[in-house]
Amino acid sequence: MAEMICIVCPRGCRLTVDEASGAVTGNSCPRGEAYGRSEILDPRRVYTGTVRITGASLPRGPVKSSAPIKTPLLMDVSREIESVTLISPVRRGDAALKNVLGTGIDIVVTRDM
Ligand code: SF4
C-alpha cells in the first residue's frame, strides 16, 4: 500500500493506493481516485525548463511540455532540450522540440522572445 496526499484540490485528502490492483481509498471524489491510481501506475509530470536561444535579450527562454510526460523520461527530455538552440524571434506556444522522445508531446516556448 502506498500513502499520499491528493494535490488535485486544496482539501488534501489522504489517499491509500494498492500498488497491485490500483484500488484507491480515502478519496472524496473521483478525481482523487484517478490521481492516486495515476501516481502509482503511470506517474507523469509537466516538464518545465529552459532552452538556449540566440538573438534574444536573454540567453535562455522558458519551455514546458504540452502535456504531462512519464516521470522516468524527464531527465532524458532535459538532455534532448540541451541539444536545441532556438533563433529569435519565437512566440509563446511555438514548438522548441516536436514529439520529444517519440512521446507525441511537444516542448513549447512559454514566452515571446
Ligand atoms: S480526493 Fe477529491 S476532494 Fe479530495 S483532495 Fe483530491 S480532488 Fe480534492
CA of 55 to the centre of ligand 1 (A): 45
Q: Which domain holds residue 26?
A: 2-42
* 58-107 pLDDT per residue, tens: 999 999 999 999 999 999 999 999 999 999 999 999 999 999 999 999 99
89 class by beta-carbon count within 10 Å (0-12 exposed, 13-18 middle, 19+ buried): exposed
Indicate if 53 and 12 belong to the same structural domain.
no
Report the domain count for the chain. Answer: 2
Indicate if 97 and 53 belong to the same structural domain.
yes
Question: C-alpha cell of 98?
Answer: 516536436
CA distance 11 to 52: 39
Note the pTM of the prediction, 2 decimals. Answer: 0.81
Mutation probe of ligand 1 site: the residue of 9, 14, 24 with most atoms within 8 A of C-beta: 9
Indicate if 103 and 77 belong to the same structural domain.
yes
What is the CATH number for 102?
A: 3.10.530.10
Which element (helix H / strand E) includes 76?
A: helix 74-82
Indicate if 63 and 98 belong to the same structural domain.
yes
Indicate if 21 and 59 belong to the same structural domain.
no
Mutation probe of ligand 1 site: the residue of 7, 29, 37 with most atoms within 8 A of C-beta: 29
